[in-house]
Structure 1
Amino acid sequence: MATSHVWKFFRIGGLDQVAIESGADLVALKDLDQKLWVALSCPVKGLELDEKTLALIDTDKDGRIRVPELLAAIDWAALHLEDLGVLLRRKDALPLAAFKASTPEGKSALIAAKRILSNFGQPEATEITLAQASDTARIFSSTPFNGDGVITPDSTTDEALKLLVADIVGTIGGTTDRSGASGIDESRVATFYADLTAFAAWSEKGASADVLALGADTSAALTAIQAVRTKVDDYFSRTRLAAYDARALAALNRSETEYLALAAQDLSITTQEVAGFPLARIAADQPLPLLAAVNPAWAAALVTLHATAVTPVFGSAKTSLTEADWTALKAKVAAFEAWAGSKGGGSVEKLGLERVKALLAADQKAALLALIAQDKALDPEFVAITSVEKLLRFSRDFRALLNNFVNFFEFFSPDHYANFQAGTLYLDTRSTEFCIKVAAPSPLAAMSKAFIAYVDCKRAGEAPIKVAACFTNGDSDYLFVGRNGVFYDRQGRDWDASITSIADNPISIRQAFLSPYKKFVRMIEEQVAKRAAAADAESNAKLATAAETAANADKKAAGPKPEPKKMDIGTVAAMGVAVGAIGGALGAIATGLAKLTFWQLPLVFIGLIAVISGPSMLIAWLKLRQRNIGPILEANGWAINGRVKINIPFGTKLTERAVLPNGSKRDLNDPYSDKEAIRRQKLIWTLIVVAILAASVIRWDEQKNGHYFWQPAPKPVVVVAPITPVVEA
């Protein structure tokens, strides 16, 4: 896209990345081709950046920040600030002169900033901080109205209204005001007065004679009836069934077996074991006794029923109930029960009926709504205060976001961590700074061609986290599942770390160079171990055979000893051929080497090393050239646009090996070193060097004299001139 703005790019990580150094760069960012952006989206959560700042940019609240949202944030800030360059300072403070007073948005934000400073007792200050702008409780603590549509008892000087607001909070419940106090809003006022009206109407209906059939005793009678209703209904159902068929009596009453089981226990009069038994013995159309011959578990409840319900209706002489009596008794309290179940406005019942009637008569609902409307009128001022906080958050965090989104400057900077770097892992005498919080291992991350160790981190009092740690220096010989280390997060807190899985890729050229030799040594070790195991098994078998022979010597008949098995002549011939072939090969190698000049011998060894290590080094080099961080971040929710590579020098910085401090003194005299092995190594290397020197001298002597010193000198060749025949004339 054509643009008059002159951009500056820097080459880092194998990628041309745009530099954002001024407010003009921010304004022109919308014209920069998005193909030149390193990232096109990033997650809100999981980054080492204030989530509240990121949430302010994430306008659609989808948990991701995209390019349009970032550009919209810049446009919004341009309406409030004179120079967008202040957003690149990484400071949590703004001078008042930075606000753009020429726009309505900037002017409102400037007024709000001055009011905040005034509330903090600093009306003459020329700079405002994020801590001041974000302390809304203190900002609005000195004013009765704050624009949130919530009023508190302190929002008015009218004592009656103060008490009314307190009553609403105490019954309906309150909502938190911007000042931090508990208050009420329109919905709570409406609910409160609706409950007042409903409770008053319900209370008036409950005073009628139809509802209070037993007068003041109606409530107690209902409670007593409800306590035994299920068991009494069960009793009369059983008596009706017994009247229908006498054969059912044995089943309707509990069996003797159940009573025998109870008799074996320590019984108490209130035992729950008999609570499920009928209230009394079942007989056809048998009335229910109330005071005698009843189930002990229900005796007290039936006495209460008799006193509070039966006596007011039938008199105290009534000590049993027929089913008709029971039906009539329930009918007496049915109206009261229906009324009690239809209670309205129960939330205000605690105020008492007199207070409810007084509040309805005073009718101060309109006064409350007027106070709420007065408070709401200040909402634009609060929006301006919110804008001030947002600008201050941008001033502190916006550059860090840009340098991890438009470019990846902070990832490559020696002075800053990228916002996706979670901390540093120490393990296997190395530390790696390229650690990213992840939910789980991802196949996509392995496409980065980096060696990734997935590490579970635990710390007392904290939820466990999983980290993907990339090792970009050293080797992987001692990096395996189960190894433990220590992870330090960005706050410097230490976590116990353990490797749980690995995405294996080459770490360095050095590792690739040594890899064939290490594999060869491992193969030798494995073969030696197999041979040793086989020899041990063979030895054990022979010992077992010998022991068995000795134990059964008396059972075997004496006889001639078997002749020892003779070696097969073919085997001897084969061994001779093999030895000859090996000797011939070694002789051919020695002869070939002997024909070389002394300066050619090192080239032979270098070529041999290249043949052995070259393929693995080439493969590692190709993979290391492709190593980049894109797939790792994309597995964690990013959309990476550029190929941000991790070359060998940068990988050495990300993963550092243990190095002694400068000026350290080192004592190489190890008291526990294997001195005999060291002497053997020195002797072997000395012999190798002497052999090479001797071969070089012998070869030089052969070239000089024309024969090796152990060969006889060749006889000089006499050249005889040919005889010219004489031709006679």
Structure 2
Amino acid sequence: MAHQWRFFRSGGFDQVRLDKIEDWQQLSSLDPKLWAALSCPVKGLEFDSRTMAYLDSDNDGRVRIDEIKAAVSWALSVLQKPEVLLSGQALPLGAICSQSEAGQKLLASAKRILQNLGKTDATELTVDDTADLSLIFPADQLNGDGIITAELANSDALKQLINTLLELGIQSTDRSGAPGINQEQLDLFVADGQAFTAWQQSGTDITTTLGAATDEAWQLHSSLHAKVTDYFTRCQLAAYDANATVALNGTAEDYAALSRQLLSQASSDTNHLPLAAVSADGKLALHKGVHPHWAEALARLAELAGALWGEVKHINSKDWQQLTDALQPYADWQALQPVSQAATLAPELLAACLDAQVLAAANDLISQDLAQQAEAESVLDVDKLIRYQASLRDLLRNFVSFESFYSLEKPAIFQNGRLYIDGRSCDLCLNVNDAGKHAKLAGLSGMYLLYIDCVRSNGEKKSIVAAMTAGDAGNLMVGRNGVFYDRAGVDWDATVIQIVSNPISIREAFFTPYQRIGRMISDQIQKFAAAKDKEIEAQSAAGVGDAAKVAAAPAPAKPPAPFDVAKFAGIFAAIGLAIGAIGTALAAVVTGFLGLVWWQMPLALLGIVLFISGPSMLLAWFKLRARNLAPLLDANGWAVNTNAKLSIKFGTRLTALASLPTGASRSLTDPFEEKSNSGLWLILIVIVVATWVFWRQGLLAAWL
């Protein structure tokens, strides 16, 4: 019969229950459209990184549905007691299937691990047992990865070969964590070394007039060639036009600038000066009058080229070309020198590393290591099975469904800590790489988001996004500081750098109109006061200026304007009319209110409040009902497969407001509280309004 799936409703969608092993066994038949997520990133989650690496079989940095199915299917196939996958604790050796070939290999490898750990009597394995692979795969034992370490070498010559390659930076990391070399790296080094050796041997057939001094003479010639060629070219120009001689030599300004420096061959910049004094005869002195930077090298080259030049004190361009032609075969051979790391080794060391017996021993050791590949991979499979048994249940509850997130038993794998800020704590916090890019998509979640930079005292930094799902915006603003605690309990200094504003709660929406009215009145009063202050300041300045003018040139006094009775009568009439209109309107409202039956009065007040706050609350209610977790996760690289909503009630569980502990005592007396007379003014207004109403209705006259 078909498997009977069980679903629960949470977050506005149906989520599958996976708390029975039968559900796991039928997971491959579950319609992908019913999965909460289609893929998730490997990094940035509060989940075991090695388990995620095992799950990511194609190494593309993402885990998908097929990889989850394959992992569950493999774990079930090698266990004779698959129920242990639901416990999430230690893996008993007795749970491994001993009837299948794969299970037998796993069981043998598990016993080998316990033996290497010195726990031969243990009957179960935990994640802590395999956390350090260097204890399972010691550097002095073969581990099947094809990498040999110096600890594996059985001779000093082989150890020297491995250490030489490691010193050259040719290395790979062994499963033990130690550096070593593999077959490809060894073959490449041998090929480079043999090519360099063959090149060296080809140079023994090259003979020049200089004999044994050829190499040193070639090096000196190479360092001087550009400067000597420059000198003879300058001499040719001087022979072409004598007027160029002065300009081609160093000028007086050059030497004047040098005279103000502390000169030395190491510090002074005189390379622009010619090698020697330029003249039309084109002769280069070998010992005197040579630029001090090159004088020693030129003298040594003249000494080595004595067999070619003889005992001379000057040379010309033909002599230099003669030396160049004599060294050309050696220069051509040097140009063919292979460029490799092997070429940097001393000849004796290179020869020892390329010894046939040493290379044969290295190749044989690599072959022996590779022969252990199947057994070593079986050991890794044990580690994989242990981690699947410990963590796979949590992954399914955060991937196939979002049960962990909505049950609030423990944080989901995408929640990375808790933020404390502005008298509240926030549990829906996620890692963020790029706040600006993240906010473009995450803003569609309908949540009030804080993007925060976190810093520790050691300079470590990271960025998070926190969703405020209860309370109100309060004093939240860019630049506000708080404290963030990651899942390990480590505290970080947190600073708000960006805010995506959305409604937070119905309570906030209720007070929003009054806050807007209050801000509007406050702004208008401040603008009015500022305008009056500016007007008074301008009038004062004008008055001072006029007084100064009067003092400078007194003018005849202007008679005061006559009192206009009609003008002031009109003003008083307008004021009286305005007061009367306001009083009449207020009287009508109060009269109508007092004319209601007593039980209708609270309803009338409630209607007024709803008239003011109702639209704002209704709009906020619609937006809060539409809050969606999917865009927030999608911005972090997830592929969420449903609308995971955050209801108003659930939001109060994710963001907690400050509250006094149960049973705490509280004193309401604040000695520094500002005393307010609002109550007295309210009573006075009520008395005045009641008196006005009674007078207009004639009740006051009848009573009197």
One-letter amino acid of the structure 2 residue matched with residue 563 of structure 1: P
Instruction: Give the structure 2 partner of residue 313 of structure 1.
Output: 308
Name the CA shift for 1:662/1:239 in 2 (closer, same or farther; >3 Å).
same
Q: C-alpha offsets along residues 572-593 of structure 1, whole Å, 9 cap, x if unaligned?
A: 4433332222222122223322
- Which residue pairs with 1:96 in the alignment? 93
Residue 721 of structure 1 corresponds to none
Conserved? CA contact 1:426–1:486, under 8 Å: yes
Compute the displacement of 1:288 (Å). Answer: 1.0
Instruction: Please state whether the residue corresponding to 1:578 is helix, strand or coil.
Output: helix
Q: Which amino acid aligns with 2:670?
A: D
Greater shift, 437-446 or 107-116, is seen at 437-446
User: How big is the shift at 1:510?
Assistant: 1.4
One-letter code aligned to 1:135: D
Deviation at residue 290 of structure 1 after TM alignment = 0.8
Say if 1:351 and 1:576 are closer, same or farther in 2 by CA, change over 3 A. Answer: closer
Count how many residue pairs are aligned between Structure 1 and Structure 2.
696
What secondary structure sits across from 1:502 in the alignment? strand
- Structure 1 unpaired stretches of 5+: 714-729
How big is the shift at 1:387? Answer: 1.0
Q: Work out the CA distance in 1 between the residues paired with 2:664 and 2:33.
A: 50
Q: Which residue of 2 aligns with 1:329?
A: 323
Change in Cα spacing, 1:546 to 1:395, as seen in structure 2 (3 Å) is same
Question: Who is 2:589 aligned against?
Answer: 589
Contact 2:140 2:149 in 1 (8 A): no
Deviation at 1:672, TM superposition (A): 0.6
User: In 2, Cα distance between the equivalents of 1:501 and 1:349?
Assistant: 56
- How many Å separate the matches in 2 of 1:158 and 1:268? 53
Matches within 5 A, 1:113-512: 113-141=110-138, 144-155=141-152, 157=154, 161=158, 173-208=170-205, 210-211=206-207, 213-263=209-259, 272-307=268-303, 309-315=304-310, 317-343=311-337, 363=357, 365-438=359-432, 439-441=434-436, 442-512=439-509
| Counterpart for residue 551 of structure 1 | 548
1:518 is the counterpart of 2:520: no
Structure 1 pair 110–658 and aligned structure 2 pair: CA distance change class (3 A): same
Structure 2 segments unaligned to the other structure (5+ residues): none
- Residue 536 (1) aligns with residue 530 (2): no
Tell me the TM-score normalized by structure 2.
Answer: 0.90
Contact 2:139 2:151 in 1 (8 A): no
Most deviating of 614-623 and 569-578: 569-578
Q: Conserved in 1, the CA contact under 8 Å of 2:353 and 2:359? A: no
Question: Match of 1:651?
Answer: 651
Deviation at 1:211, TM superposition (A): 2.9
Moved more, 34-43 or 400-409: 34-43
Cα distance, 1:564–1:477 mapped onto 2, change above 3 Å: farther
Given the alignment of the two structures, is residue 580 of structure 1 paired with residue 574 of structure 2, yes or no? no
Structure 2: distance between partners of 1:106 and 1:389: 14
Q: 1:310 to 1:564 in 2, by over 3 A?
A: farther
> Which 10-residue stretch deviates more, 420-429 or 176-185?
176-185
Deviations 1:387-406 (A, max 9, x none): 11111221222122111111
Computing the radius of gyration from Cα coordinates, the structure with the larger value is: 1
1:437-486, CA deviations, whole angstroms, 9 ceiling, x for partnerless residues?
22214233222222222222222335432222111221123222222222
**SS of alignment partner, residue 294 of structure 2:** helix
Matched residues, percent identical? 42
Distance 2:163 2:594 in 1: 108
> Quick check: 1:23–1:86 contact (8 Å CA) kept in 2?
no
Matched, 1:107 2:101: no
Displacement of 1:5 in angstroms is: 1.6
Task: Determine helix, strand or coil for the equivalent of 2:463.
Answer: strand
For 2:598 and 2:692, how far apart are their aligned partners in 1?
8
Aligned to 1:65: 63
- Whole-angstrom CA distance in 2 between matches of 1:459 and 1:638: 28
Give the Cα separation in 2 of the matches to 1:452 and 1:538: 44
Aligned 8 A contact 1:271 1:297 in 2: no
CA distance in structure 2 between the aligned counterparts of 1:157 and 1:260, rounded to whole angstroms:
69
Alignment-mate amino acid for residue 414 of structure 2: F
Cα deviation code 1:622-681 (max 9, x no counterpart) = 222222212222222222222222222221111111111223222222111123x1xx24
Shift, 1:433, TM fit: 1.0
Question: 1:561 corresponds to which residue?
Answer: 560
For residues 502 and 578 of structure 2, the distance between their equivalents in structure 1, rounded to whole angstroms, comes to 41
Give CA-to-partner distance per residue, 1:221-247, whole Å, 9 cap, x none: 223322322111111222233334444
CA contact (8 A) 2:157 2:358 kept: no
- TM-score scaled by structure 1? 0.87
Deviation at 1:684, TM superposition (A): 4.7
Equivalent AA in structure 1 for residue 308 of structure 2: V
Asked if the contact 1:272/1:297 (under 8 Å) is kept, the reply is no
Q: Contact 1:310–1:318 at 8 Å: present in 2 too? A: no
Tell me, yes or no, if the aligned pair for 1:448 and 1:630 is still in contact at 8 Å: yes
- The match for 1:608 is 608
Q: What whole-Å deviation, never above 9, does each CA across 1:345-377 have from its counterpart, x for those lacking one? A: 975568765676677775554443333222211
- Return the letter of the residue paired with 1:141: P
Amino acid at match of 2:220: A
Q: 8 Å contact 2:627–2:645 — kept in the other structure? A: yes
**2-structure distance, mates of 1:362, 1:585:** 112
Quote how far apart the aligned CAs of 1:513 are.
Answer: 1.5
Contact 1:144 1:155 in 2 (8 A): yes
| Counterpart contact for 2:418–2:484, Cα < 8 Å | yes
**Closer, same or farther: CA 268–90 of 1 in aligned 2, 3 Å:** closer
Given the superposition, is the C-alpha separation of residues 211 and 184 from structure 1 closer, same or farther in structure 2, using an over 3 Å criterion?
farther
